[in-house]
Amino acid sequence: MSSMGFGRVHRLFLQVMLQRRTVDESEAQELLGNCCKEYGEAVQQLEPFIYEVNKELESVELVLKTTVEEREDGDYPCLVLVNLMTGEANRALSPFSQQELTFVQLLVAKLVTSNDGEVKMNTAINLCLLVKPKMKVSACDKLIERLVEDKWLLQTTYDNGDVYLSLSSLIVAEINTYLEETYADDIHKCFFCTKLTFKGYRCHQCKVAMHRNCAKKYWQTSKKANSCPSGSCDAYLGPASSPASPSKRSRVMSDSSDEMEEEEETMEKKEQKHVVQKRRNNLRRGKEKVNYEEE
């Protein structure tokens, strides 16, 4: 693998991305500057630099992609290192067992089909009851912790102690094709940047969707604030739904209760309560951090 434009700065940058997998775009520019300074070279522009790196990565089926990570406090442009391998080759390299992959698929389905791209921790843990062969609640809890630590999932805790999960930029970029093929009727692409959005604004008249930040930029220059940008529709969209809103809490807790009535057995119910209480205790003691920024 050689390229006239690919050199030691590119190699160093790629080494860091192989470790981190995903960084904010602002952090990517800072990282590039540090890599250039390391070898005494002039700071390069990020876009052409990424182009050179991607040419080098073609033969190993990896690519650096820009995407948007929708966090509780806003939308953040990100740079993600994506694995393009498919089929048996990809499964052979997967760090997850078949049982764990089944749980991840169930959780992704729950998140994608939710109203606002998030599910409560209790609801996520309940999904282990649908895994065959049966998955222990404690094993499910450890898997969720691992998914958050490895940046596949985002986790946030609200003032009342409720914990919610959502999709990270890494998993959205990694399984983008799967999402588009499997959930074509459930996913939404931003009207402006065309990237997937799960937390943004949605027009219920014409099905237009927008990232919160994309919508904000549009409405700053539009004569009609909070209006749908589609030329054939002028509906009022209102504020983006808040993941902490009472209506969401009520809906998610109701879903969780229904699922427990249908699936949960007495011993598993006790184990789940123990795991959830343990998490809450850890959060109060400061042992578990909720952090949306890249490590």
Residues 38-49 have pLDDT tens digits of 999 999 999 999
pLDDT digits (tens, 9 = 90+) for 249-271: 333 333 333 443 444 444 444 45
> What are the Cα distances from residue 182, in Å, to 108, 131, 167, 176, 254?
11, 19, 16, 10, 26
> Cα–Cα–Cα angle for 50, 52, 53, nearest 5°?
65
Cα 118 to Cα 199: distance, rounded to the nearest angstrom: 8
Is the whole-model pTM more than 0.85? no
pLDDT score at 240: 55
Q: Tokens 């990020």 identify what position?
A: 46
Residue 10 has pLDDT above 50, yes or no: yes
The DSSP bridge partners found for residue 69 are 76
With H, G, I as helix, E, B as strand and everything else as coil, classify residue 104: helix
Domains of the chain: 8-88 (3.90.1150.220), 95-186+243-285 (1.10.10.10)
